[in-house]
Chains A and B, each alone.
Chain A
Amino acid sequence: MQNSNNWRRLDNSAKIFPIASSKKYSSVFRLSAVLKEEINASVLKEAVNLVLKHLPSFKVKLKKGAFWYYFEDNSKEIIIEEEKDYPCKYIDPNTNNDYLFKVTYWNNKINLDIFHSLTDGNSGVIFLREIVYTYIELAHKDRFTKALRTKRKLSNNTEDDYLKNYDKKSKGTRGSKKAYILKGKKLPLAAIGVIHININLEELKNKAKEKGVTITQYLTAALIYSIYNSKYKNKNGGRPIKVCIPVDLRKYFKSETVSNFFSYITVAADMKLKMLQNFEGILKFVKSEFERLLTKEEISKTMSANVKLGNNPFIKIIPLFLKLPIVKLSYLEIRKYTTTTFSNIGRIGIIGEYQKYIDKFLILIAPETVEKIKCSSCSFENDLVFTFTSVLQDTEVEEEFCKRLKEEGININIEGNGVHDFISEG
C-alpha cells in the first residue's frame, strides 16, 4: 500500500527479511555489470544520484514500527566506494547512510548489492541497468547528448501485488521432508567464495534443445547431479536434494511493481530412487517437476499460503520485538527444507547503442550457514554466467558441475574471487 507522507509498508515478502536477517544471514543479492572501460567513481556517483531521482522508491531507509518494519524516505547522501569486502555481505545501515543497497566498483565492474526487502532480482536488474545506462551516457556525453535529455520511462509503482493477486481460498501445499544439507569445512573469517562459470549460450541452448528441456531445467539437473556425485553419494545422505527456484510472478500475474513480486518452486529429488542416479534420469525428473510445479495454479498456491501467513491477524498483533526471536528461530528451521537455491534471472536486455560498452552481467546470492552454496545465472549477448557462491572450503560441487558441462561438450571458462583459486587452474 502506498501511503502519503514519505513512508510505505513493506510488501509481503519484504516483511520477513529484516526480521530474519543478521550478519550471518544477510538476505543480500548482488548484481554486477562488467563494462569494457575502467569505472570512474565520481561519474558513477553522479549516475546513481540521477537514477535515484527517477526511481525514488529505492531512496529509502528501513524503520522499526511497533508491529512491522516500514520504509521511509532517505535524504542522506549516497555512498559509493571501491569494492573491498566479499560480495553479498550484510549491509549495515549505520555505515551506509541508512541505504538498503550498496554501490561499489572495482576496475571495470559496477556492483549493486541489494537487501532483499527493497526489491527482487528482476526489479534489481531494472535499477542496475538504469545505473549502467546513465553511467555510459555521462561517461560519453558527446555520444549521448539526446539520451541525457530524454529519460527512459520507469515504473515507480511500489504496490504490494501479492495482496492484489493472492487467492484467499487457496490451500497451500508444503513439502514435508527436510532437505539434504551440504556439509564441509567452512571458509575462515566469514569469507565467501565466488566461482563464475562463463558458458557459451548457443552451445548450452543447443544441448538443452537436444535433451528436450529448457536452460533452467538443464542447469538445475546438472546442479542436482553435481551435488549427488560430489557429496551425497559418498556420505550416503538419506534426505532428498531440494533445489529452491525463485519464480518471477510478473510472468504469471499482471504487475508493474518495483517491490518484491516473486515466489518459488522446490524441486525435491529423492536420490534413493535408482532412476535418479544418473544425469539423464535427473533431467527427465526435473523436466516433469517443472511442468508440474510451474503452473499458475501451483504458483498461486505457494504465493497465497505465504501471503496468508503474513496477513494472519494473530501474527499481525504480535509486537515486533517478540516477532524477532520467533521468526528468527522458525526461519532457521524453514531453511533446513532446502539444499540450495538456484536463481536464473535470464537474459538481460540492453539497448543496442549501449551494448558495445558492456562486457557482461553477473548475479550472486548470499550463501549462509544452512544453504552453504547458492547458485545464480544470467545471460547477456551470447554468454551465460552461472555463479556459485559458497561458504565451504571445498569446491567439490563446483568441480563436479564443471566436469558435467565439459562431458556434455559445452565450452566453459572459469573466473572467481580468488578464495577458491585452485579450481580455475584445474
Chain B
Amino acid sequence: MTLYPKVRNIEKSHLTIKLMIFISLLTMIICSIVNICTSTKYLWCLIVGAGIIYSWITVIYSLKRNINIGSNVMLQLVATSILVICIDFIIGYTGWAINYAIPIIIVIANITILVLTIVSINKYYKYAIYHLIIFILSMVPMVIYIASNEIIIKPIFTIISSIVALFTFILSLILCGKSIIEELDRRLHM
C-alpha cells in the first residue's frame, strides 16, 4: 500500500479565462478600428475599453470566494464612480458625473449598507469597517465642494448624498455602536 498518491501534474486549464481575455481584446480592437474609420467626434471606443476593464474588475473580485458583501459595495462605489468620471471626460466634460451620477451612486451604496445592517444586525461587525470607509468616501464630494465651488456646480445632489451617508452612519452607530468599536479595536490593533 502506497504512502502517497500519484500527483497528476496537469496544469489547470484556464481556457474560459483565456477565451474571455481574447474576446475582450478583440472587442476593444474592433471598436477602436470602427471608431477611427467612422467618427472623429468622440473616442467612444475608450468607453468600451473602460466598460470592459470595469467588468473584469467586478468579475474577478466577485469570483474570489468568501468576499464580504460590504467590501463588494465599497468596490462598486469606487469602480462605478471612476467609470462615470471616465465616460464624462471621454464624451466631452460637462460635469454630470460628479454633479449627479456619483452622488446617486453614494446614496445607493449607503442605502445598501443600511439594509445589510438592518437585516443582519448581529453580524454587523462584518460590515462595520467597510461602512466606515464608505462613509469617508461618501464625504469626499462634500469636501471637494467646500474646498472649491468650481468643480461641483450643482451641489444639491452632493448635499443630499452627504446627508444620506451621515444619516445611515449615525443610524448604524446607534444600532451597532458597540460592534463598530469592537471591529475597530481588532482591525487597528498594533
Contacts and interface: CB of A to CB of B under 8 A. Distances in A.
A68 interface: yes
A94 B190 contact: no
A93 B186 contact: no
Nearest to A10: B189
Given A5-B182, A189-B9, A189-B11, A68 B190 contact: yes
Interface in A339-353: none
Interface residues of A, number: 37
Interface in A36-93: 63, 65-68, 70, 72, 82-87, 93
Given A65-B188, A70-B189, A108 B1 contact: yes
B14 to A, nearest CB: 15
Given A9-B189, A108-B1, A317-B190, A84 B65 contact: no
B187 interface: yes
Nearest to A4: B182
A10 to B, nearest CB: 10
Interface string A109-149: 10000000000000000000000000000000000000000
A426 interface: no
A93 B65 CA distance: 9
A7 to B, nearest CB: 5
Nearest to A97: B66
Given A188-B9, A189-B11, A418 B4 contact: yes
A67 B7 contact: no
B129 to A, nearest CB: 9
Given A98-B66, A107-B2, A108-B1, A65 B7 contact: no
Interface in B1-31: 1-9, 11
Contacts of B7: 84-86, 191, 417
Contacts of B186: 3, 5, 7, 63, 65, 70, 72
A102 interface: no
B4 A106 contact: yes
Contacts of A63: 186
A196 interface: yes
Given A94-B66, A106-B4, A108-B1, 4 more contacts: A65-B189, A83-B4, A194-B4, A418-B4
Interface of A: 3, 5, 7, 9, 34, 63, 65-68, 70, 72, 82-87, 93-95, 98, 106-109, 188-189, 191, 194, 196, 316-317, 415-418
